[in-house]
């Protein structure tokens, strides 16, 4: 994983902003690499810059700190840690820098008063929590936010989450997760933005803007923590915590870009990953945490380990003992240890032995204190108790959650325009184990929520339809339960099954089908319980859990129109449904306002406009599957690679329908030739040709025809979500930056923009057909 020494001077020169030209590549093309005025490090430093006042304050404080106080700042303890009564004592001694999982604003305020008023140097604590997709008000999961294909929507969700979390004294979130995921078996795919580095990068920037606001010193801003650096989403077999084996080419071109974008956007902290990356644990990987992150990218924030991941360096067989683990982690670039006490127990002795330098510890503490200063904690550390009383689950929060949930849903099928449901229906059968489950419709990582706040699909449908005379006939039909317990069962459990005998289960199944027969239309809410997705929630299959598939098939067999609403955190095997169920709406896990948002969508009060941020497989045998594959010697038959079935995805990346239709025409370019380092505009006319207002996402893809390495058949390089009224036409213009055409070449071992011919396509998914070409020339 180390950059060969031969190439380091070149890489460092590029990071410093020099322009380099190389000739005589294997394809005969000319390669260019150049800065756009500032280096990566300069951009990152500018977006997370500390003021001279902050530096003077922190350096003065650092000079007065004892070694024990410095190591204390590098220590985070959890609410449920075995510290017991010693916690308060340690805080007063300045031996704790951060606390995790404390949610009660009064307790946060009490602990902060201890730190500020009782410790020798009055250094405030920073309280962290997993604000992943909302705090008390739960918003759609991150994968769903990516499905909005609208960074403004993502930024709004995270801004609202920051407002709530900060109101109780939480000023640090362990989000966003920026791991690219191309294997839906991996449970944490729900926590990121999907498979594509360009889409993931734009969402990463939006996450940082949302959490951190216009200034970290604003009382409603919270410090973002980008995670898990790096390669966690490529766990072997999709098994959470398993090692990742990723080539340099894939790291630089696929897995690094969202992190790089977040660093340039000014992310204030970063979390190292649990797992081995190419046989080196990420938490002890100096190449990742120093060479790439700080040296090449100019990261100015601080690095926190993942839960117990410093201690676990011994478990990996990487460190020989706890002291060795502490030494390796801090020398690699970890500044704060989450929950375990390896730093606290070993760093002082390691310093005496010369295994760690004083400067290494001082730099770590400096970066932590700068973050606290930027958050305004030295000036105003206490909790504004009254603010939480008006912010939590407020009218504004609920309104935002409902609106955002409608923007993230993806319409996968709508045969004969079954949706939206027509007015005048006498009855709707609402069936499914997730239709009236408050925890399950919110999704995993809803740890700060109160389930009683949530509107279930049943509640939302009754409010919307029964007021107009349509009766809702509800029963769950089947129950589902995770086979193995979840690590979150104590904090946020799913409902336990209540049908305990085969006879009871069969009677409930039959009752559901009877209700379908009695209704004008059936809506089945199926998918996964929230414990089936998320951390330590990987799967060996993608089928609908339990007997949901049998329930769906039995409902369709009645001959009544059926709408399938999916509640899920990953693509599921709905291949049968894709040809037998007239309408399929993927709602993901929509959050607190789930029921109202789904009722809005089914009734037509809102129109689905989301697009898939992942390629949807036909079966688990296809995974990992993604659109940006390389060409092969038989490029004309990409969908016939399996003799026993199609190798084509069920739905392509970027796919999503609407209640209206759109026509694209008139593809134009502002230039046919562009110099490396420049840009040009690509425009296309979009018309709403249907009878309903709706949103469409215009997507731009490119392909490099030849170069130093084979490039993916298509790569997303631009997108724009627009809203059009019936009959309305709009010209959409996307600016293509040549810097976005650059890549890290396995031949040259550097990042460059290569000269030559490129294809471009514009359309509404990764199978876009409007085509043109352009040339990139020397600057």
User: Does residue 94 contact residue 368 with C-beta atoms inside 8 Å?
Assistant: no
For residue 657, list its beta bridge partners: 411
Cα–Cα dist 310/330, whole Å: 9
Round the CA-based radius of gyration of the chain to a whole number and report it. 26
Strands (E), 433-575: 471-475, 521-527, 562-567
At residue 344, the 3 state secondary structure works out as helix
Q: Tell me which residue of 481, 466, 414 sits closest to 595, measured CA to CA.
A: 466
Q: Tell me which residue of 30, 690, 541, 15 sits closest to 291, measured CA to CA.
A: 15
Output the DSSP codes for 758-773.
Answer: EEEEEESSTT--EEEE
Query: Which long-range CB contacts under 8 A does 386-395 form with residues at least 24 apart?
Result: 387/167, 387/219, 388/105, 388/164, 388/167, 388/168, 391/163, 391/164, 391/167, 392/135, 392/136, 392/137, 392/164, 392/167, 392/168, 393/136, 393/137, 393/450, 393/453, 393/592, 394/137
178's enclosing H/E stretch is none
Sheet containing 337-338, strands listed edge to edge, beginning at the edge strand earlier in sequence: 172-173, 126-129, 98-100, 75-78, 337-338
Q: Tell me which residue of 372, 357, 301, 303 sits closest to 67, measured CA to CA.
A: 357
Whether 306 is catalytic is yes
- With a CB cutoff of 8 Å and minimum separation 6, the contacts of 502 are none
Output the DSSP codes for 114-169.
Answer: IIIIISSS-PPPEEEE--SSBSSSBPPPHHHHHHTT-HHHHHHHHHHHHHHHHHTT
Q: Tell me which residue of 191, 199, 207 sits closest to 155, measured CA to CA.
A: 207
Cα–Cα dist 431/419, whole Å: 17
Burial class (CB in 10 A: 0-12, 13-18, 19+), 93: middle
Cα–Cα dist 184/194, whole Å: 9
Categorise residue 500: left if φ over 0, alpha if ψ from -120 to 50, beta otherwise.
alpha
Please report, in angstroms and rounded to a whole number, the separation of the first and last CA atoms in the chain: 32
Burial class (CB in 10 A: 0-12, 13-18, 19+), 117: exposed
User: Does residue 552 contact residue 429 with C-beta atoms inside 8 Å?
Assistant: no
- With a CB cutoff of 8 Å and minimum separation 6, the contacts of 311 are 322, 325, 340, 342
Backbone angles phi, psi at 188, to 5 degrees: -85, 10
Alpha helices in 593-731 (DSSP H): 594-603
Strands 583-586 and 410-414 come out as antiparallel
Q: Tell me which residue of 689, 607, 264, 123 sits closest to 410, measured CA to CA.
A: 607
Cα–Cα dist 719/465, whole Å: 36
Backbone angles phi, psi at 634, to 5 degrees: -125, 65
Cα–Cα dist 378/370, whole Å: 10
At residue 313, the 3 state secondary structure works out as helix
Q: Tell me which residue of 607, 596, 602 sits closest to 419, measured CA to CA.
A: 602
User: Among the options 130, 291, 306, 453, which is catalytic?
Assistant: 306
User: Does residue 126 contact residue 115 with C-beta atoms inside 8 Å?
Assistant: no
User: Does residue 603 contact residue 401 with C-beta atoms inside 8 Å?
Assistant: no
Residues catalogued as catalytic: 306
């Amino acid at each position: 994983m180390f950059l060969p020494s031969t190439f380091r001077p070149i890489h460092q020169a590029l990071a410093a902003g020099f322009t380099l030209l190389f000739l005589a590549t294997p394809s005969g093309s000319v390669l260019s690499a150049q800065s756009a005025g500032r280096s990566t490090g300069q951009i990152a430093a500018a977006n997370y810059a500390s003021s001279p006042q902050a530096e003077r304050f922190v350096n003065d404080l650092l000079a007065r700190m004892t070694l024990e106080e410095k190591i204390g700042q590098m220590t985070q303890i959890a609410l449920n840690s075995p510290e017991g009564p010693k916690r308060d004592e340690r805080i007063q001694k300045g031996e704790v820098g951060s606390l995790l999982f404390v949610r009660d604003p009064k307790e946060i305020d009490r602990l902060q008063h201890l730190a500020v008023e009782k410790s020798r140097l009055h250094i405030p604590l920073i309280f962290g929590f997993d604000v992943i997709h909302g705090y008390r008000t739960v918003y759609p999961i991150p994968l769903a936010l990516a499905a909005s294909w609208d960074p403004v929507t993502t930024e709004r969700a995270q801004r609202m989450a920051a407002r709530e979390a900060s109101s109780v004294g939480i000023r640090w979130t362990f989000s966003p997760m920026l791991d690219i995921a191309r294997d839906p078996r991996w449970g944490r795919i729900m926590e990121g933005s999907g498979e594509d580095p360009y889409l993931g990068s734009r969402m990463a920037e939006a996450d940082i803007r949302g959490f951190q606001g216009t200034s970290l010193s604003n009382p409603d801003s919270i410090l973002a923590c980008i995670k898990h650096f790096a390669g966690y989403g490529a766990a072997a077999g999709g098994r959470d915590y398993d090692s990742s084996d990723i080539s340099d080419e894939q790291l630089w071109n696929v897995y690094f870009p969202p992190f790089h974008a977040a660093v340039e956007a000014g992310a204030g902290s970063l979390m190292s990953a649990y797992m081995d990356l190419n046989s080196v644990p990420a938490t002890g990987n100096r190449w990742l945490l120093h060479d790439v992150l700080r040296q090449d990218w100019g990261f100015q924030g601080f690095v926190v380990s993942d839960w117990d991941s410093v201690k676990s360096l011994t478990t990996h067989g990487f460190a020989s003992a706890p002291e060795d683990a502490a030494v390796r982690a801090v020398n690699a670039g970890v500044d704060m240890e989450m929950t375990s006490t390896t730093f606290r127990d070993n760093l002082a002795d390691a310093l005496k032995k010369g295994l760690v330098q004083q400067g290494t510890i001082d730099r770590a503490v400096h970066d932590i204190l700068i973050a606290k200063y930027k958050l305004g904690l030295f000036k105003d550390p206490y909790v504004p108790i009254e603010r939480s009383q008006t912010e939590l689950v407020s009218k504004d929060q609920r309104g935002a959650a409902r609106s955002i949930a409608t923007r993230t849903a993806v319409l996968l099928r709508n045969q004969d325009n079954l949706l939206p449901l027509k007015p005048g229906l006498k009855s709707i059968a609402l069936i499914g184990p997730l239709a009236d489950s408050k925890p399950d419709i919110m999704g995993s990582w809803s740890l700060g929520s109160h389930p009683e706040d949530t509107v279930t699909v049943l509640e939302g449908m009754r409010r919307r339809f029964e007021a107009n005379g349509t009766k809702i006939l509800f029963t769950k039909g089947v129950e589902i339960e995770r086979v193995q317990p979840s690590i979150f069962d104590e904090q946020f459990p799913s409902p336990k099954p209540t049908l305990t005998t085969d006879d009871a289960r069969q009677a409930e199944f039959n009752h559901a089908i009877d209700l379908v027969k009695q209704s004008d239309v059936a809506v089945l809410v199926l998918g996964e319980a929230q414990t089936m997705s998320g951390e330590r929630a990987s799967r060996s299959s993608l089928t609908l859990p339990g007997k949901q598939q049998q329930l769906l098939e039995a409902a369709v067999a009645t001959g009544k129109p059926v709408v399938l609403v999916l509640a899920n955190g990953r693509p599921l095997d709905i291949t049968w449904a894709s040809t037998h169920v007239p309408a399929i709406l993927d709602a993901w896990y929509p959050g607190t306002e789930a029921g109202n948002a789904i009722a809005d969508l089914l009734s037509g009060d809102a129109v689905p406009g989301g697009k898939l941020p992942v390629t949807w497989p036909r079966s688990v045998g296809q995974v990992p599957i993604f659109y940006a594959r390389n060409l092969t010697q038989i490029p004309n038959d990409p969908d016939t690679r399996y003799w026993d079935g199609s190798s084509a995805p069920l739905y392509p990346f970027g796919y999503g329908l609407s209640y209206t239709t759109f026509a694209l025409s008139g593809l134009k370019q502002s230039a046919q030739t562009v110099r490396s380092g420049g840009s040009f505009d690509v425009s296309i006319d979009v018309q709403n040709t249907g009878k309903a207002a709706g949103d469409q996402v215009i997507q731009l893809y490119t392909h490099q025809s030849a170069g130093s390495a084979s490039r993916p058949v298509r790569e997303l390089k631009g997108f724009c979500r627009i809203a059009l009224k019936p009959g309305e036409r709009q010209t959409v213009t996307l600016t293509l930056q040549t810097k976005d055409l650059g890549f890290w070449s396995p031949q040259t071992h550097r990042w460059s923009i290569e000269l030559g011919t490129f294809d471009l396509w514009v359309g509404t998914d990764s199978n876009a057909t409007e085509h043109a070409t352009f040339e990139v020339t020397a600057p």
